Amino acid sequence: MSVCHFFLQGRCRYGEKCWNEHPRGGRGSGGDYQPGHQSNQSNRGGFGNRVWINPSQRSGGGGRPHPSTPSRGGVDWGGGSNGAGGGFGFSQNRFSTLNSQSNFDGGAGSGDENEKHLEAIQKDMEVWQSSGQWPFSTYSILKAPISGFVELSPEELRLEYYTRRSSGDVESYINSVQQLANQWRDRVQELRIMNPSTRVAMTAELSNPRPSGGGLFSSSSSGFSLSSSSGFQAGGFGSSLQSSATFCFSSATTGFGSSGARPGPSGFGSVGVFGSAATPATPSASAFSFTAPAAAKTSAAVSGSVAGFSFSSSSTPSASAAGLGSGFGSSTPAGGGVFGLVTGSSSGFIGGASELYTPQSELTANELKEFTAARFTLGQIPLRPPPAELLTV
């Protein structure tokens, strides 16, 4: 029997009665809405796992027997009379690619899967750009979040505005928000266009999800967790608004994502902004982004982007320390260049070619303890880079 291709798309009208074969395999019940006769009850209630594939996306999955799941869910629920699946979006199946007993023909190769994911990312970015939805949100296609996005809730931002307003400093709030918004726009654009270097970086990121504590991505973990591939750390802002008057989004623990491979905004941009308020409570840890060798050639651009990084006020003894972009295994001209940004700070890094690593002998006992620990402790994150000996890549 031939395979029923409507079933594969999730819209076979005959269901069990279909003369063609309905391969079972991770697709749930497939389409079995019988228009008209049969119980209208089950029509409504038992749609099961219908993945309504956006026709525009089908081209990506064309040649494969099982279109994989990150297809966009369908239309909004109609009043129930719209029999075409009612369009409730993808279900848990989206994550089935992560299951070990994946019953997709994973033999299609992870390369294909990644392709699908990348396309889905592009589509999502397009939607995100045009829809006017909240920009400061994390985003992910698989379990782990995609790097380069800031997670802020409207309430946090609003509170920030209120506190700034009471201290008369509305301008800086507006600037901060604009900076964040620009960063977001750039990142979305980048992911949408998906030029080759982004593609490489994303593929790496997707296949090697960052180690995350407890199964949930913890943006408060140290900027140190290196993944063997691209090692981008999402710009997670730790709990914000700790000190009342500051917009200091880092409570010393955030790892800022810097897209080492692309001429995009670095996550540091935002640090600059926030450092601009009154003294941040604790200095933030630096994020070290180690670009994958393949993409290292563009890391020159990184420095460029960081130059756009400015602390708008100079009152902070902020050691929002420099992140280092260093190309592993490939020497990049600017790779050694550390973009350190400090304004009038006494204890921060100085921008320019400072060291990549601190020699172990120079570390204080506390710093050494932190570096060797599995995670950083809040408030104790060292401000200097670790010694090369401690790094495992």
| Structure-token pair, residue 391 | 């790094």
- From 187-195, 236-244, 311-319, 354-362, span contacting other proteins (CB under 8 A): 236-244
Q: CA–CA separation, 292 vs 279, rounded Å?
A: 35
| Structure-token pair, residue 336 | 């050694």
Minimum CB separation of residue 165 from other proteins in Å reads 8
Give the residue with the Cβ less far from other proteins, 63 or 79.
79
Q: Is 354 in the site for other proteins (CB under 8 A)?
A: no
Minimum CB separation of residue 336 from other proteins in Å reads 32
Q: Is 162 in the site for other proteins (CB under 8 A)?
A: yes
Give the residue with the Cβ less far from other proteins, 95 or 328.
95
Residues in contact with other proteins, shown as a per-residue x/- string from 196 to 235 under the rule CB under 8 A: -----------------xxxxxxxx---------------
Q: CA–CA separation, 4 vs 288, rounded Å?
A: 51
Minimum CB separation of residue 266 from other proteins in Å reads 20
- From 30-38, 123-131, 203-211, 306-314, span contacting other proteins (CB under 8 A): 123-131
Residue 67 · residue 53 · CB < 8 Å? yes
C-beta atoms surrounding 10 within 10 Å? 23
| Structure-token pair, residue 361 | 């002998």
Report how far apart, in Å, the C-alpha atoms of 17 and of each of 31, 32, 271 are. 11, 9, 61
Of residues 73 through 102, those in contact with other proteins by CB under 8 A are 73, 75-80, 86-95
Give the residue with the Cβ less far from other proteins, 133 or 346.
133
Considering only CA atoms, give the Rg of the chain.
24
Minimum CB separation of residue 10 from other proteins in Å reads 13
Specify the DSSP class assigned to residue 288.
E
Q: CA–CA separation, 72 vs 60, rounded Å?
A: 13
**Binding test (CB under 8 A) with other proteins, winner from 177, 277, 295, 363:** 177
Q: CA–CA separation, 211 vs 84, rounded Å?
A: 40
Residue type at position 58: R
Of residues 129 through 158, those in contact with other proteins by CB under 8 A are 130-141, 143, 145, 151, 153-158
Give the residue with the Cβ less far from other proteins, 76 or 389.
76
Q: CA–CA separation, 200 vs 260, rounded Å?
A: 12
Give the residue with the Cβ less far from other proteins, 73 or 351.
73
| Structure-token pair, residue 104 | 């997709």
Minimum CB separation of residue 285 from other proteins in Å reads 16
Give the residue with the Cβ less far from other proteins, 77 or 329.
77
Minimum CB separation of residue 251 from other proteins in Å reads 8
Q: Is 10 in the site for other proteins (CB under 8 A)?
A: no
Query: H-type helices in the chain, by residue range?
Result: 5-9, 40-45, 55-61, 110-131, 154-166, 170-193, 196-207, 268-275, 299-307, 365-372
Q: CA–CA separation, 194 vs 319, rounded Å?
A: 33
- From 2-10, 159-167, 254-262, 305-313, span contacting other proteins (CB under 8 A): 159-167
Supply φ then ψ for residue 148, to 5 degrees: 90, 10
| Structure-token pair, residue 108 | 């299609």
Specify the DSSP class assigned to residue 20.
S
Of residues 307 through 346, those in contact with other proteins by CB under 8 A are none
Number of residues that bind other proteins (CB under 8 A): 70
Q: Is 236 in the site for other proteins (CB under 8 A)?
A: yes
Interface positions with other proteins (CB under 8 A): 28-29, 44-45, 47-49, 73, 75-80, 86-95, 124, 126-127, 130-141, 143, 145, 151, 153-159, 161-162, 170, 173-174, 177-178, 181, 213-220, 236, 239-242
